[in-house]
Copies of this chain bind each other. A is one copy, B any other.
Amino acid sequence: MELETHSFNIKTRGNCDIIDITSQIENLIDNSGFTEGSVLVFAGGSTAGITTIEYEPGLLEDYPAFFDKIIPVNINYHHDNTWHDGNGHSHVRAAIQGASLTVPFINGSMLLGTWQQIIFMDFDNRSRNRQITVQITGNKF
Contacts and interface: CB of A to CB of B under 8 A. Distances in A.
Contact of A95 (B3, B63, B113): B63
B104 A37 contact: no
Contacts of A77: 58-59, 62
A70 B63 CA distance: 12
Contacts of A3: 1, 36-37, 138-139
A2 B53 CA distance: 30
Number of this chain's copies in the assembly equals 3
Contacts of A92: 59, 62-63, 66
A137 interface: yes
Contact of A61 (B52, B78, B99): B78
B133 A45 contact: no
A104 B70 CA distance: 30
A96 to B, nearest CB: 7
Contacts of A80: 58
A7 B44 CA distance: 24
Interface string A17-58: 000000000000000000011101010111000011110111
Contacts of A78: 57-59, 61-62
